[in-house]
Chain A
């Protein structure tokens, strides 16, 4: 059974620093992996989608990588800002099932 783990569960970082969020999954037979952002009490906003054949995707200050063979993905955030404070979730997609990690709660200190 696919399990998705995100470590750490919470992270506090001073503004301006670069940071990396981690996502690991147990079954490498995935179709793609998606990173989301969730603000308190709000819905999920898609950040990046990496197909299984891809190694990374970039959007602005965000860069997501995927190493399917080792079951790992990272989300790199450059030059962090207070507005980046949120919970970040990764989700592994395989055909008809989508499995989410429990998220990393990120707090950027002004």
Chain B
């Protein structure tokens, strides 16, 4: 089944403790991206990647890192999480190098709480 998977689905952590949220897609998509969704603010793009070893900042990249060593994986790294990063996070992928070319597929989301 074609899908985007994220792990973990739920995470409660404390300020400053490094964490990684994994994202994997099995559709051989070039483009992958991370979003956070907050009440009243909607979905905002954090980082995106147009292909292996190519990443770029979205609208709200501060406090986050990403890497794209393999085509299928695009982990989101929070080196020193803070309470303002408490949010619902989504990973997405689409075929084609550019985001706007084709339909986006979303993962199920990761609900992160930073105490």
Main secondary structure on A side of the interface with B? strand
Q: A93-B99, A96-B50, A98-B33 known; A34 and B104 CB under 8 Å?
A: yes
CA gap between A82 and B99 in the complex, in Å = 33
Among listed A16-24, A60-68, A70-78, A99-107, interface-contacting one = A99-107
CA gap between A98 and B58 in the complex, in Å = 9
Contact of A94 among B35, B41, B92, B100 (CB under 8 A): B100
Check B42 against A43 for contact (C-beta < 8 Å).
no
CA gap between A94 and B59 in the complex, in Å = 14
CB neighbours of B111 from chain A (8 A): 41
Number of residues of chain B lying within 8 A (CB) of chain A = 27
CA gap between A48 and B109 in the complex, in Å = 21
Contact of B58 among A41, A97, A102 (CB under 8 A): A97
CA gap between A46 and B101 in the complex, in Å = 14
* Nearest CB in chain B: distance from A99 CB, A: 8
CA gap between A99 and B90 in the complex, in Å = 14
Q: A96-B99, A98-B33, A102-B40 known; A43 and B90 CB under 8 Å?
A: yes
Residues of B whose CB lies within 8 Å of any CB of A are 33, 35, 40-45, 48, 50, 56, 58, 90, 92, 98-109, 111
